[in-house]
C-alpha cells in the first residue's frame, strides 16, 4: 500500500495529543489558516465547517497544527512535512527532490499537498466515503500548505533544513530552523503587537487587501487545483537568499537579522494563507 495514501482508521482528537513544535510554530500555522478561512467562498466555507471536528468550534486555525501533533503517532507522515534539496544548488525539482530517506517517490510536502488535494476533490462522492478520512485530509492539506511556505522546509539535505545549525537568537541558544519556525514570529509579536497574534493577523490581512492586493491575485493563481512546485521553488530561493545567508555555526542573530528577515516571514505567511484559501475554493467549488 502506498504510504502517502495510507488510510487512517480513526481521527485523533487534538486535545489528546502532546504538543510539539515542527514546521511553522503554532502561531505561524494559526495565522495562515485564519487568513485562509477569512477568504473562503461560501461553498468552501460550508465544506470546511462540515469537516472540522466539533471541538474546533468552526475555527480552522485552532487545528492547523494538528499534523505536527500526530507525526510521531502516525510515523509514516513525518517525511511529508518538508523537502530536502541538494546543498547550495538553491533549486528545487520534484522528480529529483520529492522522496523520503528511503528514496520512495512522492513522499515530501509537495507530494503530500498533491495527494490530499486529490483526496478532497472526491469529497461528496459516495463511492469514496469509506476510502478517505476527509477531516484528516483537510487538516493535513491546511498544515502542509503552511509548511511549504516556511523557507527552511525546502532546505539543504546535509543540515536537514537547518535543524543541525546551532545559533543564538539574541541570548537564547536554538537552531536556525527553529528561528524561522517560531522565533522571528514570536519576537515580532512581542515587539510590534503587544504579544497579540490577532493583531498580527489583522495587519497581514489589511496588507493583503491594500499594499499586496495586486500580488495576492498572482499568488492565488494556479493552472491546476494546487501548485506546490511553485511554492517550493520560492521556498528554496528564500532559504538561500535570507535564511541561510550570513549564518554559520554558533552565529549570534540579533536585530540586523531579525529586522531584515521579518518582511520575508510576513510575506510567506500571507502567501500561505492566500494560497490555502485559493486551493480550498478550487477544491470545493
Q: Which sequence spans correspond to the domains of the chain?
A: 19-284
Which letter does DSSP use for residue 239 in this model?
A: I
In 3D space, the residue among 120, 138, 109 whose CA is nearest the CA of residue 236 turns out to be 109
| Whole-number Å distance between alpha carbons of 163 and 280 | 31
**Domain 19-284 grouped into CATH 1.10.575.10:** yes
Give the CA distances from residue 192 to residues 56, 183, 203, 209, 265, in Å, rounded to whole numbers and listed in that order: 28, 14, 11, 20, 14
234: which 3 cell numbers?
520560492
246: which 3 cell numbers?
550570513
| Whole-number Å distance between alpha carbons of 161 and 176 | 9
Predicted pLDDT of residue 22: 53
207: which 3 cell numbers?
496588507
Give CB contacts under 8 A, 24+ apart, made by 173-176.
Answer: 176/152, 176/243, 176/244, 176/247
Q: Is residue 119 classed exposed, middle or buried when 0-12, 13-18 and 19+ CB atoms within 10 A define those classes?
A: buried
Whether the CB-CB separation of 6 and 47 falls below 8 Å is answered with: no
Region at 23 (left for phi over 0; alpha for psi -120 to 50; beta for the rest): left
Q: In tens digits, what is the pLDDT along the chain, a chain of 285 residues?
A: 344 444 333 333 333 333 333 569 999 999 999 999 999 999 999 999 999 999 999 999 999 999 999 998 999 999 999 999 999 999 999 999 999 999 999 999 999 999 999 999 999 887 666 789 999 999 999 999 999 999 999 999 999 999 999 999 999 999 999 999 999 999 999 999 999 999 999 999 999 999 999 999 999 999 999 999 999 999 999 999 999 999 999 999 999 999 999 999 999 999 999 999 999 999 998
| Whole-number Å distance between alpha carbons of 42 and 82 | 31
Amino acid at each position: 500500500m502506498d504510504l502517502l495514501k495510507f488510510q487512517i482508521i480513526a481521527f485523533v482528537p487534538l486535545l489528546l495529543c502532546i504538543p510539539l513544535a515542527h514546521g511553522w510554530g503554532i502561531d505561524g500555522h494559526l495565522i495562515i489558516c485564519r487568513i485562509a478561512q477569512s477568504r473562503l467562498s461560501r461553498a468552501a466555507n460550508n465544506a470546511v465547517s462540515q469537516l472540522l471536528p466539533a471541538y474546533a468550534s468552526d475555527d480552522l486555525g485552532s487545528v492547523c497544527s494538528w499534523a505536527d501533533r500526530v507525526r510521531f503517532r502516525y510515523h509514516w507522515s513525518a517525511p511529508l512535512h518538508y523537502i530536502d534539496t541538494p546543498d547550495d544548488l538553491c533549486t528545487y525539482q520534484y522528480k529529483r527532490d520529492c522522496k523520503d530517506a528511503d528514496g520512495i517517490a512522492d513522499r515530501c510536502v509537495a507530494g503530500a499537498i498533491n495527494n490530499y488535494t486529490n483526496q478532497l476533490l472526491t469529497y461528496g462522492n459516495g463511492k469514496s466515503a469509506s476510502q478517505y478520512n476527509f477531516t484528516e485530509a483537510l487538516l493535513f492539506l491546511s498544515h502542509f500548505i503552511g509548511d511549504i511556505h516556511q523557507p527552511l522546509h525546502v532546505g539543504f539535505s546535509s543540515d536537514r533544513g537547518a535543524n543541525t545549525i546551532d545559533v543564538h537568537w539574541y541570548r537564547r541558544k536554538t537552531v536556525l530552523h527553529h528561528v524561522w519556525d517560531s522565533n522571528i514570529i514570536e519576537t515580532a509579536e512581542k515587539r510590534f503587537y503587544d504579544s497579540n497574534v490577532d493583531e498580527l493577523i489583522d495587519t497581514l490581512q489589511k496588507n493583503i487587501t491594500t499594499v499586496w492586493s495586486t500580488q495576492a491575485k498572482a499568488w492565488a493563481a494556479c493552472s491546476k487545483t494546487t501548485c506546490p512546485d511553485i511554492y517550493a521553488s520560492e521556498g528554496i530561493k528564500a532559504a538561500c537568499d535570507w535564511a541561510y545567508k550570513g549564518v554559520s555555526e554558533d552565529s549570534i542573530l540579533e536585530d540586523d537579522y531579525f529586522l531584515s528577515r521579518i518582511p520575508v516571514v510576513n510575506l510567506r505567511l500571507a502567501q500561505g494563507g492566500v494560497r490555502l484559501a485559493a486551493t480550498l475554493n478550487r477544491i470545493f467549488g
